[in-house]
């Protein structure tokens, strides 16, 4: 069973919940935790484990031969990422950090001036904490589009070896989050009882609705704000709050020490998944 732990807003405790849930389930089941927040991976820190690189990930990257180029501008016109700029009569300028490797420029070039090379966009790592297996991606600094790395990471998942695969997505609703969510049977949206939390929860639940993934809400830092804000948004999307993680000193201390959070609120989510299996 593949499960996403996601959240429209950064800093709501999404990774804390994902790690705690995976660790709790791993006491009884075969569990893989996948850190798909490849631009800001931190699950390994929350688990206090050392990652080991499995492999580098590359994507296609155009190479321009200006001797063959007729400066027609077709490559710049077709590039949806605006990674190619062509000033009339001049050679095209390629901004590699914006390129997603789609290859369209090479296809449309009428003079054979573009060939596709490759470049590194990140790496995939693995690790282990007791019974819990870990897989994570690490995106190269300064690049723009991380979803190809998330897709490469997903290809490493051997679903048949696990009872539960927990995917910790990036925050937000951008392409990398969509890539991580696709294929999940349920999404837990982690939020906090604040106006920002309710606004961004609305966005992530809307995305889950669009992708037709059933969603449940995990209310983190329960007790520090107005939970009615979150109730309203959950109701709007025909979802519900499945668990409330208290804003407590005990949980903050566990987090700071790199110990997966152990709390009844996390066991409640684990129990929900066990019942669904």
Give the x/- contact pattern for ligand SF4 in 200-239, rule: CB under 6 A. Answer: ----------------------------------------
Please tell me whether residue 75 binds ligand SF4 under the rule CB under 6 A.
Answer: yes
Torsion, CA 38, CA 124, CA 186, CA 203, rounded to 10: 10
Residue 12 Cβ vs ligand SF4, minimum distance, rounded to whole Å: 32
Residue 144 Cβ vs ligand SF4, minimum distance, rounded to whole Å: 10
Alpha-carbon gap, residue 239 to 173, rounded angstroms:
18
* Among positions 21, 24, 109, 261, the unique one binding ligand SF4 when judged by CB under 6 A: 109
* Among positions 21, 83, 251, 266, the unique one binding ligand SF4 when judged by CB under 6 A: 83
Task: Report the SS3 class of residue 268.
Answer: helix
* Chain centroid to CA 80: 22
Please tell me whether residue 100 binds ligand SF4 under the rule CB under 6 A.
Answer: yes
Please tell me whether residue 101 binds ligand SF4 under the rule CB under 6 A.
Answer: yes
DSSP 17-46: HHHHHHHHHTTTS-EEEEE--TTS--HHHH
Please tell me whether residue 26 binds ligand SF4 under the rule CB under 6 A.
Answer: no
Alpha-carbon gap, residue 104 to 73, rounded angstroms:
13
Q: CB neighbours of 199 closer than 8 A, spacing ≥ 6?
A: 8, 9
Please tell me whether residue 113 binds ligand SF4 under the rule CB under 6 A.
Answer: yes
Q: What are the φ and ψ backbone dihedral angles of 143, each rounded to 5 degrees? A: -80, 165
* Among positions 28, 63, 111, 264, the unique one binding ligand SF4 when judged by CB under 6 A: 111
Give the x/- contact pattern for ligand SF4 in 49-68, rule: CB under 6 A. Answer: -------------x-x----
Query: Helix H segments across 91-210?
Result: 104-108, 147-155, 175-181, 195-210
Task: Report the SS3 class of residue 57.
Answer: strand
Identity of the residue, 27 or 90, whose beta carbon is nearer to ligand SF4 in the bound complex? 90
* Among positions 2, 74, 129, 221, the unique one binding ligand SF4 when judged by CB under 6 A: 74
Residue 92 Cβ vs ligand SF4, minimum distance, rounded to whole Å: 5
* Among positions 17, 22, 47, 105, the unique one binding ligand SF4 when judged by CB under 6 A: 105
Alpha-carbon gap, residue 55 to 126, rounded angstroms:
10
Q: How many CA atoms lie within 13 A of 126 on its CB side?
A: 10
Identity of the residue, 80 or 257, whose beta carbon is nearer to ligand SF4 in the bound complex? 80
What's the burial of 199, exposed, middle or buried (CB within 10 Å: 0-12/13-18/19+)?
Answer: middle
* Residues binding ligand SF4 (CB under 6 A): 62, 64, 69-75, 78-79, 81, 83-84, 86, 92, 99-105, 109, 111, 113-114
């Amino acid at each position: 069973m593949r499960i996403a732990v996601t959240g429209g807003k950064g800093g709501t405790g999404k990774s804390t919940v994902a790690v705690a849930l995976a660790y709790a389930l791993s006491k009884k089941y075969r569990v893989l935790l996948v850190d798909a927040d490849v631009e800001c991976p931190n699950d390994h820190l929350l688990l206090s484990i050392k990652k080991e690189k499995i492999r580098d990930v590359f994507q296609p990257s155009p190479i321009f031969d200006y001797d063959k180029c007729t400066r027609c501008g077709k490559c710049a016109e077709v590039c949806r990422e605006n990674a190619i700029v062509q000033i009339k009569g001049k050679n095209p300028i390629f901004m590699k950090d914006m390129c997603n490797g789609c290859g369209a420029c090479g296809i449309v070039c009428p003079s054979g001036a573009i060939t596709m090379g490759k470049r590194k966009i990140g790496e995939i790592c693995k690790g282990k904490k007791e019974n819990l297996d870990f897989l994570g991606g690490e995106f190269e600094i300064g690049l723009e589009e991380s979803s190809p790395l998330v897709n490469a990471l997903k290809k490493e998942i051997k679903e048949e070896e696990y009872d539960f695969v927990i995917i910790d997505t990036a925050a937000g609703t951008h392409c990398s989050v969509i890539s991580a969510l696709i294929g999940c049977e349920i999404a837990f949206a982690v939020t906090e009882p604040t106006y920002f939390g309710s606004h961004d929860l609305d966005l992530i639940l809307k995305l889950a609705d669009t992708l037709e993934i059933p969603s449940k809400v995990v209310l983190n830092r329960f007790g520090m704000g107005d939970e009615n804000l979150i109730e309203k948004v959950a109701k709007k999307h025909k979802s519900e709050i499945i668990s409330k993680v208290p804003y407590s000193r005990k949980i903050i201390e566990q987090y700071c020490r790199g110990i997966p959070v152990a709390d009844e609120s996390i066991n409640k989510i684990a129990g929900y998944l066990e019942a669904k299996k």
